[in-house]
Structure 1
């Protein structure tokens, strides 16, 4: 396969439509519940505002109550429209602008979370594809490019995270008590016993680092094994959340770009039809 063919694979529009709906649904959840610090920063004294690069380039002002409320509710409204598949370019563009600015407000007063970079890529690229519906099986290179770019962003999140660990923390990140500290600070009761086995926690550090460094190899795998790796990443994030209550929610949404979502939707519809037929048959038998 040529480089162009790899970067622009012809994928079903239905896959992009499902991914787009899930992405915009997450935006609503994120703004209203998961990541609300942007709203609270509207009440912060402007003296604490430290413009990030984006703010310096675009001359973005410090947050105000009016600004954060406008961003919050305009983003939610646009996302609800975009979820339906209507006005994909306009509504999607408004979601991208609103959500990114809302995140900027959150991060201009403290640390910047690295789990949202790939989600930004998705929001910027999704509006480039026009109308697409869950039932569409027409193949589109435009849809394929969006999904491939999102996949690359997801893997870059892993790989660059590993690189940053040794760049800023040095090799002591994997050789010291990084995980011990995490368990002490954030550990749930069911993992506290690991504090008695520090060698195991250190081995986990090396395992995580190796997995992140090797993450680009996912593109060399067959489709079947690629899905298995993605399932393994989901399992890893579930264990991480259960252990130290850290979850990379936007990144988990982005990982869905690796999966044949339209196939899962077809299976779900087929199961629902079989269930409906079985219920009708059962109801008919009881009323004979």
Structure 2
């Protein structure tokens, strides 16, 4: 029995092969962000080691799976140490499956510790999916564009769906809890008054622009699934570039960053084209060409301020 054309197309889209070089790049980005997350992006999580256990209100998944103890000093510090120690070999491609699983579980516990005190970030969803799917992928090398894998395509498709769901359900939550008043009221005005910057405070004099930005934000989030079904790669990369520009604008306006979400969104891009060895080789080659040019044409690089030697002219 032959599969139906629609089923064949769906299977071909969902398991579209992806080069293994993208896996190596995403492992490096994920491991590097974990260090940035601890040191700069969310350093306040480490402060939970001093928070009394009575204030701990575990998330739903921590209540369903009662394997997460109440955070104390040693649990918080130990989770961070394991997370940082395992992220280094993972990002360098050393036993990536073993250390990838350790990183995924440790970072999940790190998020339980972070989000069980009243604040839950939706921008971490795509990054968590990425961490749990990277260990399922084979070992990879930078710049490998020849080795293709349907399994890798399946994994990155799941991450992309998570990224898109972050946008779509954010708009759904705005409409569900805030109603249409979210887009028709002074939502952005309030945000700029609280967290505005020099790039956005001038917009307070133009409330119609702020209301238009609210409508544009919700429309953009509701239409974000379109990127999953665009066949032309240039158009898809253009849409992803628009996503990045959108987050840059939001950060400049109200200093709200979605850095882990941006890391997960990088799986849309052809990162398999990046090869550190080729980049280093080109730099060395360019430096060698410049040295040979200086040796062959020394006057081209002579200091223009130095006097030009000339023969003595006999006096008249």
TM-score range, shorter chain: over 0.9
Pair 1:171-2:180 in alignment: yes
Q: Secondary structure at the match of 1:62?
A: coil
CA contact (8 A) 1:55 1:61 kept: no
So what's the TM-score if we normalise by structure 1? 0.95
Deviation at 1:270, TM superposition (A): 5.4
Pair 1:43-2:53 in alignment: no
For 2:47 and 2:89, the matched residues in 1 are separated by 25
Moved more, 19-28 or 250-259: 19-28
Deviation at 1:232, TM superposition (A): 0.8
Pair 1:256-2:266 in alignment: yes
Name the structure with the higher helix share.
1
CA contact (8 A) 1:241 1:247 kept: yes
Pair 1:98-2:91 in alignment: no
**5 Å matches for 1:182-201?**
182-201=191-210
Pair 1:110-2:96 in alignment: no
**5 Å matches for 1:56-205?**
56-59=63-66, 60-137=68-145, 138-205=147-214
The structure 1 residue matched to 2:36, chosen from 24, 29, 36, is 29
Structure 2: gaps spanning 5 or more residues: 1-7, 297-316
The aligned counterpart of 2:257 is 247
For 1:156 and 1:286, the matched residues in 2 are separated by 56
Q: How many residues align structurally? A: 286
Distance 1:161 1:276, change over 3 A: same
Deviation at 1:269, TM superposition (A): 6.0
Pair 1:232-2:242 in alignment: yes
So what's the TM-score if we normalise by structure 2? 0.87
Q: Secondary structure at the match of 1:85?
A: coil
Q: Secondary structure at the match of 2:200?
A: helix
The structure 2 residue matched to 1:285, chosen from 278, 293, 297, is 293
> Over alpha carbons, which structure has the higher Rg?
2
The aligned counterpart of 2:233 is 223
The aligned counterpart of 2:299 is none
CA offset digits 1:27-62 (Å, max 9, x no partner): 121123211233111111111111211221222222
